Amino acid sequence: MRFHTFYISILILSIFSCYRNDSDSKFTKDLSEDKFGKPAFGYERLNEKLELLNLDNATNGYDSLLIRIWYEPQLWMTTEVIELKYNSKKWSGKHIEFRQSYIEGTDSIKQEKIVNDIIPKNGWEHLINQLYENDITSLPNMMSIQGLEDGWTDGVCYNVEISSKNFYRYYSYHLPEYFQDKFEDPRKMVEILNIIETEFGVENLYLRKRR
């Protein structure tokens, strides 16, 4: 089992070679910029959030492999993160919740951070296979999908970080459940979220129409 898990990890790492020339081993960063050069939603505040949650900044690369999914409601004072790391030939996972709320009768804000280690129900090999089959490393940014128009002003954004030694990628999906019937990539993003919920028992309280 350990060998197979390592083999799947190598498959995922090999994806990143598609984004650079074989003769060029320089670091590559893909922020899913729009036609105006603006990065995908949420990236401009990423450093602030990483510091607030005391998470590793992987925007300039990560020694082995890091996958993060940020759950960010636009009108709620809550952030959740699923963080998967491959280090020292093994996988590990964390579920981070960060909540902010006003203290009753005051203008002060109370902050609460909850961190739990998570292990996939069906094993790391199965999980990584499922994520890989739904293109977690290569999905396009939602706003770059031809013909998709997002007129919603609230709801949840799901922001994804993928980082390895020579590559960093960031992309975002806003309310993908509302577009999954017409577009394949939002459907895959919804499936990724379902896989995370099933494997880790982490209930996604935000999606209402994904099944």
Model confidence over 79-136: pLDDT tens digits? 899 999 998 889 999 999 998 777 887 878 888 899 999 999 999 999 999 999 999 9
Q: Which secondary-structure segment (H or E) carries 167?
A: strand 167-174
Going by pLDDT thresholds of 50, 70 and 90, the confidence category of residue 164 is: very high
Number of domains in the chain: 1
Is residue 77 one of the residues assigned to a domain?
A: yes
Is residue 196 one of the residues assigned to a domain?
A: yes
Is residue 78 one of the residues assigned to a domain?
A: yes
**Statement: residue 205 has pLDDT above 80:** no
Q: What percent of the chain has pLDDT over 70?
A: 82
Is residue 177 one of the residues assigned to a domain?
A: yes
CA 203 to chain centre: 16
Query: How much is the average pLDDT of 26-39?
Result: 86
Domain hosting residue 123, numbered range = 2-200
Is residue 207 one of the residues assigned to a domain?
A: no
Coil vs helix vs strand at 75 = coil
Query: How much is the average pLDDT of 135-147?
Result: 93
Q: Which two tokens mark 10? A: 């190598």
Is residue 211 one of the residues assigned to a domain?
A: no
**Statement: residue 77 has pLDDT above 80:** no
Q: How far apart, in whole angstroms, are the C-alpha atoms of residue 101 and residue 66?
A: 30
Is residue 60 one of the residues assigned to a domain?
A: yes
Is residue 167 one of the residues assigned to a domain?
A: yes
Q: How far apart, in whole angstroms, are the C-alpha atoms of residue 14 and residue 175?
A: 30
CA-based angle 41:45:49, to the nearest 5? 120
**Statement: residue 56 has pLDDT above 70:** yes
Q: Please indicate whether residue 158 or residue 22 has the higher confidence score (pLDDT).
A: 158
From its phi and psi, is residue 202 left (phi > 0), alpha (psi between -120 and 50) or beta?
beta
Give the pLDDT confidence score for residue 170 in this predicted structure: 97
**Statement: residue 17 has pLDDT above 50:** no
Neighbouring-strand partners of residue 65: 86, 164
